[in-house]
Amino acid sequence: MHFFTLIAFVPIFGQFAHAAAVPVAQISAMDIVTITTYKDAGRSGASQTWSLATQSQCIGLSGTEWNDVISSVSIPTGYRCRFWTSNNCDSTSTPDIYAPGTDQFPSNMNDKTTSFKCYKN
């Protein structure tokens, strides 16, 4: 059995850090998903497209124009997302919203999203 590794170089303050071996299996586990949020129901009104790492990346919206304004979302096949009222992906949330998304957030979450996180099914 052969194992492949990818050598990653990370720039730090204009210099290159030491090369680090990263197993290919670990890189493929860092799946990126792209979703679109909408300010209005029916996936209409102003929209914003977000790309994030699944499983681990919490997108905090506090201090942005997208805090407490999301009413609907488009999610690609094979993924699900959850939306929270706090900025740290904890506290009150929607249930998992699966592809293709939803035309209207539940009333207790409509225009109340302050963070979100997505997962691969």
Enumerate the domain spans of the chain: 1-30, 32-120
pLDDT > 70? residue 27: no
The pLDDT tens digits for 75-101 are 999 999 999 999 999 989 999 999 999
Taking every pair of Cα atoms in the chain, the longest distance, rounded to a whole number of angstroms, is 53
Q: What is the mean pLDDT of residues 34-42?
A: 97
Distance separating alpha carbons of residues 102 and 26, to the nearest angstrom: 31
Q: How confident is the model at residue 20 (pLDDT cuts 50, 70, 90)?
A: very low
CATH 3.40.50.300 assigned to domain 32-120? The reply is no
pLDDT > 60? residue 29: no
pLDDT > 80? residue 7: no
Distance separating alpha carbons of residues 41 and 38, to the nearest angstrom: 7
Q: What is the mean pLDDT of residues 5-19?
A: 37
Distance separating alpha carbons of residues 30 and 82, to the nearest angstrom: 18
